[in-house]
Each structure stands twice: as structure tokens, then as C-alpha cells.
Amino acid sequence: MVALAFMYAVFSSSAMGVPSILILPMSKELGWSIGDLSAPQGLRLALFGLAAPFAGGLMLRYGVRRMVALSGALLLLGLGISVITTQKWELWLGMGVLLGLAPGLTAMQLSAVISSRWFVARRGLVVGLMSGAVATGTLIFMPLAAWVAERYGWRVALAIPSVGALVSWTLFMWLAHDRPQDVGLPAFGQAQMTPVPPVPTHNFVRLTFDALQLGVRNWVFWVLVFTFGICGISSFGLTQAHLVPFCGDLGLPLAASAWLLAVIGVCDLIGTIGSGWLSDRYDNRWLLAWYYGLRGLALLWLVMSDVSMVGLTIFAVIYGLDFIATVPPSVKLTVQTFGLEMGPAVFAWIFASHHVAAGVMAFGTGVSRDVLGTYAPAFLLAGVMCLVAVASLGTLRKASGVLLTRPSSP
């Protein structure tokens, strides 16, 4: 199940991320400004997050397999429309709406649901592995897409995630199951198979808002919403959408910029898996404080220093190790606070804050670049907000005693 979900997450998220590398070649071919192209990018990121809460309710009501079936169908439709884009409405529909909604219907909920249903031991490590697939799929295929776009055009570059999405979607639908009980197995780390909880009979909208109602009553929810929103501002909304144009302003070729994204992607997979391992052993609140602090300092250093290619590579390594390392401890805190069944649905709302903030940041950064002629203010803002996130995590000290107890090693 982890392998199947990992594969699908890699390719579905690459379909969401690869269009970001195509901003410059699309601008040259279609004659549209970076601001024109950034707006659908921002919509895609925002819808990716806004779909998450409803995906949480839908997974509770209809199961993982049905949701992946719907997500994959919309994903392939969005890629098809994107490939033939010649008008702005096609850009908004394909790259903006469908490539936002489709991966958003699974997104981080897939990792949260599979880890909570299929694992008792090593749950944090599984979340780290599968969460890393989302950012890694987004970033690791960008160099290949950039190479293809330079030689054969940006439309051909979209074939890479299209083929991968089709293959991984087919395998998931063929081999995956909703729960370990479906194949007569206990969850990993459990001695005996437990009864399957009753399937909720409410419609998915009510389930979605039941999870929200549960969350808003708890201070932990609000702190995680705030900090995860800052995570979106300082990751997907900034570097995924704008690192390539930022490097272009520094005079770097597209291939070099894509190389930096690949470094971030590889380091992200290492960092997020490592974060999952750490989240099984240490206070998740303090892990988050370290992650946001290091990310903020890295972004501030990037803007304030005289950056060379060597410096950018060093930044990519440090920043990549921390790119979405915040996910495993955030998921763990949510599940600890709200339970195994409702925890993933509550986390879907927290995840929504991540990508809504990322979408606003992607759009705002593009506009500020057009108006001011520089990306510096946007990167400085993201760095400062990361440090604000560190301070906010200190408020959890008295909010929930469970956060202060060190989780026992499985």
C-alpha cells in the first residue's frame, strides 16, 4: 500500500508542479506575462488545498480507492487540456482548476489515512515517506521537464507526468485496498485484527464540516493552521512557483535552475523521511520549531548574501532537507489530538491552509516581481514569517499536555 500510494503521489504531484517550470517557455510562445501565468498557478495551489477538507470527508464516506479513481480521471483530463492550451480560459481550466482539484482530492490525506489505518508502529516514518513523495514528485521531474521543454517545447514536457500518472493510477486501482482488514491482516505493529469501524452514513459535506467543528474547538488546531499556512508561503507558494524565474533574474539558464529544484527534491525526500523517523521519537512541537527556524534563516540568507551557483546549491540542500519536513510532526500532532479516524479529516483542513496560503503567495510574488522588478521582498517576507511560526509554537506549552510528553519508541 505504501509503494502504490507513493507512486501515485509522485506522479500526481508532478502533474501539479511541472507547469511551474514551464512559465518562461510558455511566456515566450504565447506572449503572456509572468503575472498572467502566475495567476492560474496560484489558483492551482489554492484549489489543491481547498479540495483537501472535502477529500477528507469523501475518504471517510467512500474509501481510498474510489477517491483515487476520481482524482486520477480528473488529473488526466486536466493534463490533456493543458497540452492543447492556446487561450487563457484553457490555461485557467486545465492548469488552474483541474490540475489543482485532481491531486487535491488525495494529497496529504492519502498518507494520513493509509498511515493511520494500516500502521500502528512506524506511523510517523510512513507519513514521512509518503509525504516526501508529494514534494519530491513535484520537484524531481522539473529538470527533465525543463530539458524536454528546451528541445521539444513545453507541450511535450507535459507528457512526462501524463504517462506516469496513467501508469501509477492503473496500478493503484488494480492492487490497492481500503483497509488491511479487507485482505485479512492486522495493521502493522498490531497483534490481532481489529473490527472495521462503521462506515459513516452522513454525506461527505457534513463529515467534512464535522471535522472542522471538532478542530476549531482546540487551540492545537489553530496553531497548526497558522504554522502550516506559513509552511505553504515559504515552500510551494514561493520556490516551487518562482525559484526558476528568480534564478533567471540572476542570469542562470533554465537547466541550472531546474537542477536546483532537483537538489531540493532529493533532499526533501531524505529530510521528510528523516522527519518521520524523528517524529516517532521526539517532541513534535520542538521538531516543528527547528524546521521553521532553519527554513526562515535559509531564506533570509539567500536574499541578503551575494549568491553564486555554489551558494545556491548549498541553499538548495539546506532548504530541501526542510522543504516539507513539517508534515510528519504536524500529522502526528493532529492524530494524537483528534484520534485515528477523525484525525486525518481534521488534518485535511490544516492542509487546506497550507495551499491556500501557497496560492496567495504564488500570485502575490508574481505580481510583486512584475511591479518591483525583484523577488527580494517576497523571499524576505517568507523568511520572517517562518520565524513568527517558531514563536507561535511556544503557545502549545499550556494548550495540550500530550504535546509535551515524549512519544514512546515503537
Please tell me the pTM assigned to this model. 0.72
Q: Per-residue pLDDT for 367 more than 90?
A: no
Q: Considering the chain, what is the average pLDDT of its residues? A: 82
Residue 390 has a pLDDT of 94
Give tens-digit pLDDT for 105-136.
Answer: 886 678 778 887 888 888 778 877 777 776 66
Average pLDDT for 147-153: 83
Q: Where are the domains of the chain?
A: 2-177+209-400
Q: What is the grid cell recorded at 6?
A: 507513493
pLDDT above 80: residue 371: yes
- Residue 399: pLDDT over 60: no
| pLDDT > 70? residue 195 | yes
CA dist 354 and 348 (Å) reads: 10
Cα→Cα distances 126→106, 143, 258, 299, 329, Å: 16, 27, 28, 28, 12
d(CA 14, CA 59): 22
Closest CA to 351 of 128, 109, 116: 109
Cell of 196: 472495521
Q: How confident is the model at residue 401 (pLDDT cuts 50, 70, 90)?
A: very low
How does pLDDT run across 281-290, given as a tens digit for each residue?
888 999 999 9
Alpha carbons 18 and 20: distance in angstroms, whole number = 5
List alpha helices for 119-158, DSSP H: 123-140, 142-152, 154-157
CATH of domain 2-177+209-400: 1.20.1250.20
Confidence (pLDDT) at 188: 85
pLDDT in tens, 159-193: 877 888 899 999 999 998 888 888 888 888 887 88
Distance (Å, rounded) from C-alpha 399 to C-alpha 284?
Answer: 14
Are the beta carbons of 130 and 6 closer than 8 angstroms?
A: yes
pLDDT of residue 403: 43
227: confidence class by pLDDT, cuts 50, 70, 90: very high
> What is residue 404's DSSP assignment?
G
Give the rounded percent of residues in the chain with a pLDDT score beyond 70.
92
Mark 51-88 as b/e (b = at least 16 C-beta within 10 Å): bbbbbbbbbbbbbbeebbbbbbebbbebbebbbebeee
* The pLDDT value given to residue 209: 85
pLDDT of residue 405: 36
Whether the CB-CB separation of 395 and 219 falls below 8 Å is answered with: yes
What stretch of H or E contains 177? none
The per-residue pLDDT for 292 is 95
Top mean pLDDT of 15-29, 262-276, 284-298, 358-372 is at 284-298
How far apart are the C-alpha atoms of 88 and 37, rounded to whole Å? 9
**3 state SS of 316:** helix
Please give the Cα distance from 173 to 130 (Å, whole number).
18
**Percent of the chain with pLDDT strictly greater than 90:** 16
